[in-house]
Amino acid sequence: MQSLLREGLKACRPVTLNIQQARSVVFVRGERVRGLIRDPEDILTSNGRRYGLNDANLKPLKQFLGDEYKLTDKMILQVITHKSFAHGTRPYNEKLSILGEELLRLAASKYALAKGVVNGDASDYKFSVGDINFDCLGSLTHRLIVTNRLLSEYAESQGIDKVFFCKVALPRNYSQDQAKDYKPKAMYSTITSSLVGAIAIQRGKNTAEKFVQEKVLAGILPAINERK
């Protein structure tokens, strides 16, 4: 009787079955379609350009920087990558831009204070402090140096915005054909400011200040004088 029970229990043991199912997934490219999955390749592409460390992506900035302000390839790619690109899953330039903006403000203040010295001496000015005329801070020139408009225009004039990985939210009256020509200033200004921050990190603060004086201010000041 017991042997029959044992045989019956063996027969009732659970059996594990490996069942595999295959399904096809259809990705969509271009404009977003509700309910469909976007192609990963589309997410890693901006204005028809594939994200990655290659000469085509890095060449514009490399040529602009030269040997004096040379940066690593990974840093250059981070400079030209905005937080909006690929849902922020790639190294982006936000923190570099914040650092660069502070250095740009410092350079703008130094420039404004230097302009406030008349004939090399501001000691005769009754409101001067330590022979420096601080009234120049807050002047039009001082305020215009660090603005999204001028920083983005500078990037365009120097050709360093040719490659920029970002996801632009188009205005309602814009079509996809107009996307390549639409460059939000708040977004594209980060190319210039993050470049300053990147130089400060890899080449030092003094080199970054020299870059601002010799490159950035030299390109921005003529545009400021036109607006006066």
Domain locations in the chain as residue ranges? 50-227
Average pLDDT over residues 51-55: 95
Listed in sequence order, the residues at least 6 apart from 192 whose beta carbon sits closer than 8 Å to its beta carbon are 100, 151, 152, 154, 155, 160, 216
Residue 64 banded pLDDT, cuts 50, 70, 90: very high
**What's the rounded Cα separation, in Å, for the pair 227 and 112?**
16
According to DSSP, the β-strands at 27-28 and 37-38 are parallel
Query: Letter for the amino acid at 219?
Result: G
Residue 174 banded pLDDT, cuts 50, 70, 90: confident
Max CA-CA distance within the chain? Answer: 119
- Answer yes or no: is pLDDT of 120 > 60: no
Using DSSP's 3-state secondary structure scheme, residue 123 falls into coil
**Whole-number Cα distances in Å, 207 to 193, 195, 210:** 15, 12, 5
Q: Which CATH superfamily is domain 50-227 in?
A: Ribonuclease III domain (1.10.1520.10)
**What's the rounded Cα separation, in Å, for the pair 63 and 48?**
22
